[in-house]
Structure 1
Amino acid sequence: MDLSWLLLLACPLMMVFMMFGMKGHGHGSHSDHSPNSQAMQAQLDELKVQIEQMKHEIQK
């Protein structure tokens, strides 16, 4: 008996179950209060300051 069609059905079914599972745990929403996003924002702010300093140096 050929059961290869089960493999074709397994992928979409697993994707559906994973999507419902992620929805319940909040993986789909991004929070600005996470430590990782705060660290990234601090790095972004630092890079912006460095860019402004480099612009002033170039103008001199």
Structure 2
Amino acid sequence: MEWLSYVLLLLCPLMMIFCMKGHMGGHKHHESHSSTDLSKKMMNLESDNEQLRKEIDALSTLVKKES
């Protein structure tokens, strides 16, 4: 029965190693977000925002003309 406690004692750090290895593997996938990639996304969002502002202005002038 003493061997069971040793097995459980050794099993805990081994499981921790495998879990940490799994977490590190997942972070490598997210490292693809470089600053240039984020800059491109930011520029796209800014241009979309500008386009939406223009559409809102056009719609609000249309509503004012109809009133």
Which runs of 5 or more structure 1 residues have no equivalent in the other structure?
1-12
CA RMSD, 1 decimal? 3.1
- CA distance in 2 between counterparts of 1:21 and 1:41 reads 27
Larger Rg: 2
Tell me which of the two structures has the higher relative contact order, counting C-alpha pairs closer than 8 angstroms and 6 or more residues apart. 1
* Cα distance in 2 for residues equivalent to 1:22 and 1:44: 27
Q: TM-score, normalised by structure 1?
A: 0.51
Question: % of aligned pairs identical?
Answer: 12
Task: Tell whether 2:41 aligns with 1:40.
Answer: yes
Please state how far the C-alpha of 1:22 moved relative to its aligned partner: 5.4
Which residue of structure 2 lines up, in the alignment, with residue 18 of structure 1?
22
Higher helix proportion (structure 1 or 2): 2
TM-score of the superposed pair, with normalisation by structure 2:
0.47
Give runs of ≥4 in structure 1 deviating > 6 Å: none
